[in-house]
Structure 1
Amino acid sequence: MKGFKSVTWNFTEASHGKGAPDGVGGALKNLADRLVAYGTDIPDAEALLHNLSKQSSVKLFKVEKYRELVPPSLKTVQGTLKVHQLVSTDPGKIKVREVSCFCRPVCDCYSPKEFILKENAASEEKAEESIEVGQWVLVEYDGDLYPGTVTQIVEDQFEVDTMNCGGENRFFYPSIGFPGDKVWYFRDNIKDMIPEPMPATSSARHFSVSAEIWAKWRRGEKRR
């Protein structure tokens, strides 16, 4: 809290789009529109940066590693479109509500909702694990476990191409793949990073996840 007993922030529609960053951003967007209108091709971020830097006095930077600045695991605060006040008196804890109240620094008027943003040791360790495209993972979907490979990563979501289930710890590759077969998962739905499943039969039609990994997560499911 940096020495503050409490902090608060109030959101109002009247101030939307009227700050200094909004003015700078709007000017740069208009400049980019003019460049395109006069025949300049801007196919990607590199071209945008190059052309704007030549035409504008605004100092521009390309952020290469923004993900390193973002905490590896962020909890979701539901209903942010309706939130108009945020209050915090303890590190890692916030209260939000739809209607702002100023009767006291901290009050329970208008039914505020509390969110605890601190991570426990287990979740921090899980968040630190680096998942990359091509990695084999074990995901949970509708209460069942499936092995698959990560095909895309966008922010904290992972597209996984999973195998089909053919029995207890028996999986196979579908003979025909469809565009909708790949599913996006949040990090919490990815239970483990695993080695590639090994053939479970001599015909190599069915494959199995490592028995140790499978037993660990099946036990966890039964405890729930």
Structure 2
Amino acid sequence: MPKMMLHVNTKRIQHDEFEKDKANGTKRVLEVDFAMSFSCEYQNEIQSALWSRASVVLFTAAVFCNGNCKTYILCSDTNNKDKDTVFVFLDFFYTEILKENSAISEEIIWSDGPSSEFKNKFMVKTLEILNQKHNRTFTWKYFATSHGKGVVDGVGGNIKRLVRMKMMTQGEGCTIQSAKDFAEVAAQLDTKSHLWYIEEDHIRNEILSQNPWRNVPSIPGIKEFHIITCSTSSGFYAKNNALSTKIALSNPKGNLFNFPGKWVVVCYEGKEYPGEVVDASGDQVQVSVMVPTGPPHHFKWPRQPDCICYLKEDVAREISPPVVVNNRGLFKFIDI
């Protein structure tokens, strides 16, 4: 029940924050999402055609600014919804589509939080690159899990419905066997959304030319964050939700955490354990953890030291050192 209450609370806080951002005239909100890929079909196809259908990746977006909403669709022949695709699409938005506006003080990206697409260290690096290119604050905000539905979902569903109806219409149908075909037909059917076609080769060439994934640091505890900001003046900071306190990560070019000698909470097999960092190297951190004992929130050192290496992504957060409870080796943490 406490986890459910925390989830509902986060959902409400983030929803209120989204509405406030849309109403703020000094902020421009870009809500993004991947729609389910469109499957290219023939009007009268044989069964074996099922195994050779091409698919179209759809990246839908809605821009909210000064009380106005404009919708956009990027379609591509790539089969990947990974960091490279997201980076190139976002870079295209802010470089080619969204014009510079001196009245805008902050660019805000809203999305749901799948780690494979949006909520990972590569998207934090993307914020840094966008910040450097456009010299303004960029913030990525996430809806609570399973509560990210919005305008963008309707945009993706509607364009797929229109194209499929056209494709299956007897006598007036059309053949769509590629993302380029889809883009041409969709542009004629949906006059409300702005649509662009981006080739997979363009994505590949942009990644090769910009090489954005140099020196990408780990972000321990990123799964708990719902707001991550990159500011030219304040550097990186994160928040668990819109009402929580800021957690300073570092300046954009620095290492996000100085691990050795710190006390942290690590996640192991679904449970959290407090411990002291012994060493850190690459993507791993060695932590000597304590075990729970006696009254709630009390811990002790195990008889045999439990000191192993964890991925830095498994470090949930930094905490204060423990306080001695008695002379029998009992400790407690003010942060737990």
Could you say whether these structures have the same fold, taking a TM-score greater than 0.5 normalized by the shorter chain as the test?
no
- TM normalised by structure 1 equals 0.39
TM-score by length of 2: 0.27
